[in-house]
Amino acid sequence: MAEAVWIWTVAACVKALLIPAYRSTDFEVHRHWLALTSSVPLRSWYSDTSAPSCSLDYPPLFAYFQRALALPATALGLRPDGLLRLSSSSPASATLPVLLYLRLSVIATDLVLLLAAAHLTRRRIPLSRRRLILVLLLWSPALLIVDHIHFQYNGYLLGILLLSLSLLEEGKDLAGGLAFAVLICSKHLFLVAAPLYFVYLLRHYCRGGLWKASRRLLTMGAVVGAVFAASFGPFLYYGQMQQVFSRLFPFGRGLCHAYWAPNFWVFYIVLDKVLSFMLAKLGFHIPAPKASFTGGLVGNSSQFAVLPQVTPLITFLLVLLAMSPCLIKAFQKPQPKHLIRWVAYAFTCGFMFGWHVHEKASLHFTIPLAIISMNSLDDARHYFLLSIVSCYSMFPLLFESQEYPIKVLLLAIYAILMWIGFSSYFGVGAATGGSKTDDSSGSDRKQEFLGKNGLLYLLGLMGVELWGQLLHPYIFGSRFPFVPLMLISMYCAVGMMYSWAWQLRQIVKCT
């Protein structure tokens, strides 16, 4: 525990240095939620329209969490400074007390991630691997970018996920199911793993004879139902459930976000545009779609010119289909030792084929995969590439020039730490069948760990960045501003598709 505290403290110091950094509109959204939950009656939380761009669209447990965060602010007298003022303003206009309070609240709630990581690594991971895995979890540059610069509370939520996985690995299925229910009542995007949790707990916890299995099923249902009742019950009482669900599932936002998440739909969009261009050149009349995927807007960008239209139902079925090998494995032989890999794969399926996926959702599977990254050399290689691609895909979140050195430095330091840690633990011999004390040179070690294809792919990332930062502005000036973002999405999507296929292969091989 002491080493986990030390690693978390170092990370907290870095996070404190990032307090003055850029903050997105999410900063004002969360500030507004604090004001909303502390000054508006509960029955009006999901119907309030005082700031339409900041409407509450997280499940009720997160709203209660925001209400709890507002209590110390009231005690500290921060209401006059605007923290709890019910209005929408620019995040850049926040006063220093408001900025400090919100930034420090994210750092403080990261203690949940610390406790979960320490609990998870204490039993299952030998001391020789524990330090590096704690570094991978607590020093994740993607998490630093999203939470402590862009501004969100993913560390707190991912801590609940890791706690749930830890409890399930220890055989405490009831407590693990309860923790997962708390998680999805805090952020509904974690629902992607619900089918896997259901199958696993049904087969692992609700086993035995008919009477014992029925009793356990009712017990699990009562525990999970109690969490949902505490979360949604008040809004059901006030007749607000329809309004709550319309906020949680706004399918009108379109298939893709303004900046495409690097997933399967990137290739679908590009193929549609290529076919549209080619058919138009051949003389076919191709009507322009009503909403363009390259408009840079968050609107209903779901229309295709040539390929079949995609609906939320189609994406839901694709996610389930992609997840089915994992569900079959969990049904046939529910083993706790494979659970982290299965859950990470389930979240990967949701990221690759889901509706209106944000690039930030890659945290849902990169963080769990960090835990098993030292199970084998192949796992280490995979995590090394995936974590770099995931973090790089989030670079467009920080588009101001003063944050550019920060995001590059965070990723570079993390990559170096991974390189040193994985190389020292596995060495060249682990890849060739020899001992870990192989006397190969550093260049051989580098090539053996990454492989030629991996090394070329990472060099390609540098080429994409060089184009976006230097060549595109030099050649095109301010024209075609969406092209560099498209290139980042497309190139990172290649790495993400590889990761999905690699994980699928590991799922199939699980015994």
List Cβ<8 Å contacts ≥24 apart for 209-215: none
Residue 245: how many CB atoms within 10 A of its CB? Answer: 15
CA angle 273, 278, 282 (to 5 degrees): 145
Query: Which tens digit of pLDDT belongs to each residue from 415-434?
Result: 999 999 998 888 743 334 43
Q: pLDDT at residue 39 above 90?
A: no
Q: pLDDT at residue 441 above 70?
A: no
Asked whether 363 and 143 are in contact (CB, 8 A), the reply is yes
| Per-residue model confidence (pLDDT) at position 479 | 80
Q: pLDDT at residue 52 above 90?
A: no
Min mean pLDDT across 142-146, 250-254, 383-387, 485-489 is at 250-254
Bigger pLDDT: 77 vs 215: 215
How many percent of the chain have pLDDT more than 90?
56
**What is the DSSP track for 28-62?**
HHHHHHHHHHHHS-GGGTTT--SSGGG---S-HHH
Bigger pLDDT: 53 vs 133: 133
Asked whether 499 and 386 are in contact (CB, 8 A), the reply is yes
Q: What is the mean pLDDT of the chain?
A: 87
Q: pLDDT at residue 334 above 80?
A: yes
- State how far the Cα of 82 lies from the Cα of 89, in Å rounded to an integer: 10
- State how far the Cα of 204 lies from the Cα of 342, in Å rounded to an integer: 14
Structure tokens at 416: 């170096």
Q: How far is CA 367 from CA 166, 234, 327, 374, in A?
A: 13, 33, 21, 13
- State how far the Cα of 65 lies from the Cα of 155, in Å rounded to an integer: 14
pLDDT band of 503, cuts 50, 70, 90:
very high
Three-state secondary structure readout of 191-216:
HHHHHHHHHHHHHHCCCCCHHHHHHH
| Per-residue model confidence (pLDDT) at position 230 | 95
Task: Please say whether the dihedral angle defined by the alpha carbons of residues 412, 413, 416 and 422, taken in this order, is positive or negative.
Answer: negative
pLDDT band of 293, cuts 50, 70, 90:
low
Query: Which tens digit of pLDDT belongs to each residue from 171-183?
Result: 999 999 999 999 9
Task: Please say whether the dihedral angle defined by the alpha carbons of residues 55, 57, 62 and 63, taken in this order, is positive or negative.
Answer: positive
pLDDT band of 290, cuts 50, 70, 90:
low
Asked whether 121 and 134 are in contact (CB, 8 A), the reply is yes
Q: pLDDT at residue 320 above 90?
A: yes
Bigger pLDDT: 245 vs 511: 245
Beta-bridge mates of residue 357: 256
| Per-residue model confidence (pLDDT) at position 89 | 63
| Per-residue model confidence (pLDDT) at position 79 | 62
Q: Give CA torsion, residues 211, 216, 219, 220, to 10 deg.
A: -150
- State how far the Cα of 394 lies from the Cα of 411, in Å rounded to an integer: 11
Q: pLDDT at residue 442 above 50?
A: no
pLDDT band of 71, cuts 50, 70, 90:
confident
What does the buried/exposed string (b/e) look like for 160-179 if buried means 16 or more CB atoms within 10 Å of the residue's CB?
A: bbbbbbbbbbeeebbbbbbb
Mean pLDDT along residues 278-285: 83
Query: Which tens digit of pLDDT belongs to each residue from 351-405?
Result: 999 998 999 999 999 999 999 998 889 999 999 999 999 999 999 999 888 889 9
Bigger pLDDT: 77 vs 322: 322
- State how far the Cα of 88 lies from the Cα of 25, in Å rounded to an integer: 10
Q: pLDDT at residue 74 above 80?
A: no
> How many Cα atoms sit within 13 Å of 71 on the Cβ side?
5
- State how far the Cα of 305 lies from the Cα of 267, in Å rounded to an integer: 14
| Per-residue model confidence (pLDDT) at position 444 | 44
Asked whether 56 and 123 are in contact (CB, 8 A), the reply is no
Q: pLDDT at residue 476 above 90?
A: no
Q: pLDDT at residue 445 above 50?
A: no
> How many Cα atoms sit within 13 Å of 226 on the Cβ side?
10
DSSP state of 451: H
What does the buried/exposed string (b/e) look like for 130-153 if buried means 16 or more CB atoms within 10 Å of the residue's CB?
A: bbbbbbbbbbbbbbbbbbbbbbbb
Sorted by sequence, the CB contacts under 8 Å of residue 154 that are 6+ apart come out as 143, 146, 147, 360, 363
Query: What's phi and psi for 256, nearest 5 deg?
Result: -125, 155
Min mean pLDDT across 194-203, 230-239, 433-442, 471-480 is at 433-442
Three-state secondary structure readout of 135-176:
HHHHCCHHHHHHHHHHHCCHHHHHHHHHHHHHHHHCCCHHHH
Beta-bridge mates of residue 256: 357
Q: pLDDT at residue 112 above 90?
A: yes
Query: Which tens digit of pLDDT belongs to each residue from 204-248?
Result: 999 888 889 999 999 999 999 999 999 999 999 988 899 999 889
- State how far the Cα of 141 lies from the Cα of 159, in Å rounded to an integer: 16
Bigger pLDDT: 194 vs 71: 194
Q: pLDDT at residue 436 above 50?
A: no
pLDDT band of 439, cuts 50, 70, 90:
very low
| Per-residue model confidence (pLDDT) at position 127 | 73
- State how far the Cα of 47 lies from the Cα of 45, in Å rounded to an integer: 6
Q: pLDDT at residue 296 above 70?
A: no
| Per-residue model confidence (pLDDT) at position 384 | 96
Residue carrying the six token digits 């430095």: 409
| Per-residue model confidence (pLDDT) at position 446 | 46
C-alpha closest to that of 361 among 175, 154, 212, 171: 154
Classify residue 356 as left (phi > 0), alpha (psi -120 to 50) or beta: left
Structure tokens at 445: 């070690």
